[in-house]
Copies of this chain bind each other. A is one copy, B any other.
């Protein structure tokens, strides 16, 4: 598999004398999630009787998925091939990479490989789901090599917004596949662990057939700033206030938490940790050695009031304005332990995830109304991304010189923009694969091409129901949300179809009944008239139902220009 060393980027081309197609070993790569979307990352690599999976994530539903709690990949293909699956390899501990694991492990029992912090977070999750006893968790380091079936799996350390993130290199019978994981290139990382260039250089020399690359920030020119720049902002804020300082950020951003602790130590402040997931992550990270907290630095939330304001730092969840999160409650005086007071300084150390803009905005508003000094992304450098921008992606491409690339972890626009970027570096457009969920890409030593599809897609989780809410239910929820529902009930004599009781009308979400009493009364008369006017004697439900539905649809639209769901119900006795 080794290739001659080259200077600068030159995409690896096919051999000059290809073997006949049929004799070349063929490896399949099948994304089950994380392409054409940001979220629920999951990728399948298959050869003969061996399958490995990279990541098992969830996606948080947009507002259009009414009432849905989580979205996970459809893993029918893995269930059908359960006996082949040799292991799931996790790149890092974010929800969009590990959050689907409980749902996956309920369906297929397979070993799970991850670094220490990643598995620490996984263990919590599996314990909550009652799955920890049967889980086969294998802790790896970036220097390990794991042989599973036909695959040799290696790892390389990357920088990201959570520690202990790795990329994965898979040696397959058809060539080397490299998966970047979620990465950025931080030249001055908080934990001093820079992305492992040397391994990348080695893979590049060896020859990379397929590179699966984080494309989330491919639209951004330049480099993503170092996490340390946020620490500089913290220091400048700490330097100029004697009030309490409250910092909200993503619970999983352990580097950010470390910087809060370091800054607090520098300014002789203690730190209280508030919010369920923040407490969990700080616990796990500290136990496993990913957080370095001076003795006596942490205080309980109950102790805050015993300290002078200028010795208090509070680190909390709620940076996304989530209604139940700690900061949101503190800002509305609904938190058990902490209420934001006039004069407090609140740092929202995060960017709103698309869709959360209004919630965050509302929290900022509430904080200002209390009289807090709010420091947020519009007015200060309080957050940096964890994903590589264009220059970092280019560097990665030059290190690896892959023959084919799959832009991962992005919408279609990111895939398309990645293709443009790749072309400027001499990668042919058709070698940058804009892949869709469920497509099977077959790779041999010569080429990668799409050869078919497998059953795949999204499964919605609502309450404890997995997959019992589909498009019809969602369509009804949308319809109900727009215009509400009107139910019309009639009891008829099953012998002759005479109306014995009703019609009764009940509505919800349609119109304010006190204001619209007359209209509903009139609607009732219309239905009554329609039922009287019909050919008597019919007991054909569908005829009666259509009659009622049509009468009410027409009447309500004429009166209100709205179209509630009309549900006629016929009772027979």
Contacts and interface: CB of A to CB of B under 8 A. Distances in A.
A167 to B, nearest CB: 25
B368 A512 contact: no
B501 A572 contact: yes
Contact of A501 (B411, B472, B508, B571): B571
Contact of A66 (B358, B365, B482, B569): B482
Contacts of A508: 476, 479-480, 485, 565, 567
A562 interface: yes
A236 B242 CA distance: 51
B357 A354 contact: yes
Interface residues of A, number: 71
Contacts of A528: none
A491 B493 CA distance: 12
Nearest to A488: B569
A495 interface: no
A513 to B, nearest CB: 8
A412 B511 contact: no
Interface string A382-417: 000000000000000000000000000001110111
A483 B560 contact: no
A470 B512 contact: yes
A69 to B, nearest CB: 9
A500 B573 contact: yes
Nearest to A357: B354
Given A480-B484, A481-B480, A509-B477, A464 B560 contact: yes
A485 B485 contact: yes
Nearest to A62: B358
Contacts of A562: 67, 462-463, 465
A468 B515 contact: yes
A565 B569 CA distance: 17
Number of copies: 2
Interface string A360-385: 01001100110000100011000000
B491 A484 contact: no
A interface: dominant SS: mixed
Q: Which of A357, A415, A481, A565 has the most CB of B within 10 A?
A: A481
B571 A468 contact: no
B487 A569 contact: yes
A120 interface: no
A506 interface: yes
A502 interface: yes
A516 B67 CA distance: 17
Interface string A500-537: 11101010111110011000000000000000000000
Contacts of A565: 508
Nearest to A359: B64
A365 B63 contact: no
Contacts of A222: none
A285 to B, nearest CB: 30
Contact of A487 (B478, B482, B487): B487
A561 interface: yes
Nearest to A482: B67
A263 B261 CA distance: 55
Nearest to A374: B413
A289 interface: no
Contact of A67 (B36, B472, B481): B481
A542 to B, nearest CB: 15
Contacts of A571: 489, 491, 501-502, 504, 571
A428 interface: no
B462 A509 contact: no
A205 interface: no
A222 to B, nearest CB: 13
10 contacts: A67-B484, A472-B512, A473-B511, A477-B480, A480-B480, A485-B485, A491-B571, A501-B573, A504-B571, A506-B569
List 4 A-B pairs, minimum CB-CB distance, nearest first.
A463-B561, A481-B481, A480-B480, A476-B509
Given A67-B482, A468-B560, 12 more contacts: A67-B481, A67-B483, A355-B358, A361-B411, A365-B411, A368-B413, A369-B416, A464-B560, A467-B515, A480-B485, A481-B481, A487-B567
